[in-house]
Structure 1
Amino acid sequence: MFEFFTECARRAVVASQDEAIALGHDFIGTEHILLGLAATEDSTAWEVLTAQGVVLERVREETVRLLEAAGVPSTGGQPAKDALASIGINVEEIKRQADSSFGPGAFQYPRPAYTAHAKKALECTLREAKALGHDRFGTEHVLLGLLAAGEGRGLDVLAAMGADPSGLRAAVLAQVAPNHP
């Protein structure tokens, strides 16, 4: 599926993974997808989000606040690292050697998995692009997919920021499909 994403949309997906790792989460939820979109400057999604006051730092603050309030731990994948350590594998040493050989950040373990809501949002991305007659998926389609999924903490973050999902949807459609009903 990711082969159909534009370069900009790929950067947003990678940014969502990076945000999850930076926040110490061993999952990628819709909140991380929203963070990835807010981090991908000069994209359609970024323009629409920014116009409604949905900017990266505020998204990050609300994400952290909501996850902490929900009791979601920032483990940084520690359970997986502990399991490997119990059989003699030192993940930190592997990371150090990879960073030394390939550059800082070359090795990330564990790679966070997508939540069910995030998977649904990405599936909706495909449906939204196809409904518009588009063969490639841009950040605008990812944002439309996130909104169309109808659930997940990404929508909670938007609500906490006072952003209107239907207004965001209308703004995206006005840019990419002005004649779309």
Structure 2
Amino acid sequence: MAAHSLSKLPAFVSAFNPNQTTKPESCSLPLTTTLKPTSLQNLWLGTNSLGVRAQLPKLRPFSSTICLSLPTAIKERVSSNEEVPKWSSRAIKSFAMGELEARKLKYPTTGTEAILMGILIEGTTLASKILRANGVTLFKVREETIKLLGKADMYFFSPEHPALTDEAQRVLDWAVDKKIKSGGSGEITTSHLLLGIWYEVDSPGHKIMASLGFNEEKVKELESLISEPGFIDG
């Protein structure tokens, strides 16, 4: 009975019987089968169990565009050969963060309040540090923005790049003019943006700053700092 049972076992078990010279018909691999390293590989390693290279999805090349400037409403500035100061990378990032904040709040436009929030979100520049040191934080600005402008319709979705309000556009152009008039080398920074928001007195950004305690004294302090020789900031 035991011998009959053993005869039905696979070859790798019945091989313990030295007198057995035949393999059971149900066994498809001989005992002398050599396992190749490739047979141990699997699809996670890019090959299948037969050692054939698996077809992996091809990676498509992609391109990206980096914006090196900000919008202007002064057409002559775009078409003229006059060299215009460049925006700093952190000023551009602050503007982009402001656009994103406008989208989060589901506003159809990017206003001075959004640019103000963008400066605070970027958070590494002199402008953002002065704001925070005087109690103007992102949370408070966002809260005041909703109080001033209201909540957007929950079913409204902002465009990918919410259009600038007239006030916000004037802030950008004011910042460029301020840098040109000050002379010297260097870039247009977030400090120029912040000053532009302050001097756009009827804008939501100015009203929010004023309601949170920012005043002319702080503005003069900032202007004094950026006018110092060798001043470098983003």
Aligned equivalents of 2:113, 2:119: Cα separation in 1: 10
Q: State whether structure 2 residue 138 is matched by structure 1 residue 52.
A: no
8 Å Cα contact 2:108/2:159 also seen in 1: no
8 Å Cα contact 2:103/2:159 also seen in 1: no
Q: Give TM-score, length-normalised by structure 2.
A: 0.57
Q: For structure 1, which runs of at least 5 residues remain unmatched after alignment?
A: 82-107
Aligned equivalents of 2:109, 2:159: Cα separation in 1: 12
Question: 2:7 corresponds to which residue?
Answer: none
Bigger Rg over Cα: 2
The amino acid of 1:138's aligned partner reads T
2:152 maps to which of 70, 74, 89: 74
Alignment root-mean-square deviation, CA: 2.2
Question: 2:193 corresponds to which residue?
Answer: 142
Offset of 1:110 from its aligned partner? 4.1
Offset of 1:111 from its aligned partner? 2.2
Q: State the aligned residue count.
A: 146
8 Å Cα contact 1:38/1:46 also seen in 2: yes
Question: 2:222 corresponds to which residue?
Answer: 172
Offset of 1:150 from its aligned partner? 2.6
Evaluate the alpha carbon distance shift between residue 22 and residue 126 of structure 1 in structure 2; reply closer, same or farther with a 3 A threshold: same
Offset of 1:10 from its aligned partner? 0.8
8 Å Cα contact 1:5/1:137 also seen in 2: yes
Evaluate the alpha carbon distance shift between residue 129 and residue 63 of structure 1 in structure 2; reply closer, same or farther with a 3 A threshold: same
Percent identity of paired positions between Structure 1 and Structure 2 = 25
8 Å Cα contact 2:201/2:207 also seen in 1: no
2:204 maps to which of 130, 137, 153: 153
Question: 1:127 corresponds to which residue?
Answer: 177
Structure having the higher helix fraction is: 1
Offset of 1:125 from its aligned partner? 0.8
Aligned equivalents of 2:86, 2:123: Cα separation in 1: 20
Question: 1:84 corresponds to which residue?
Answer: none
The amino acid of 2:108's aligned partner reads D
8 Å Cα contact 1:125/1:146 also seen in 2: no
8 Å Cα contact 1:126/1:145 also seen in 2: no
Aligned equivalents of 2:217, 2:147: Cα separation in 1: 24
Where has structure 1 moved over 6 Å in runs of 4 or more? none
Question: 2:167 corresponds to which residue?
Answer: 117
Offset of 1:76 from its aligned partner? 7.2
Q: State whether structure 2 residue 98 is matched by structure 1 residue 32.
A: no
Q: Give TM-score, length-normalised by structure 1.
A: 0.72
Q: Deviations over 1:44-93 (max 9, x none)?
A: 1101111211111111111111112xxxx514783xx7xxxxxxxxxxxx
Q: For structure 2, which runs of at least 5 residues remain unmatched after alignment?
A: 1-68, 71-84, 230-234
Aligned equivalents of 1:167, 1:77: Cα separation in 2: 42
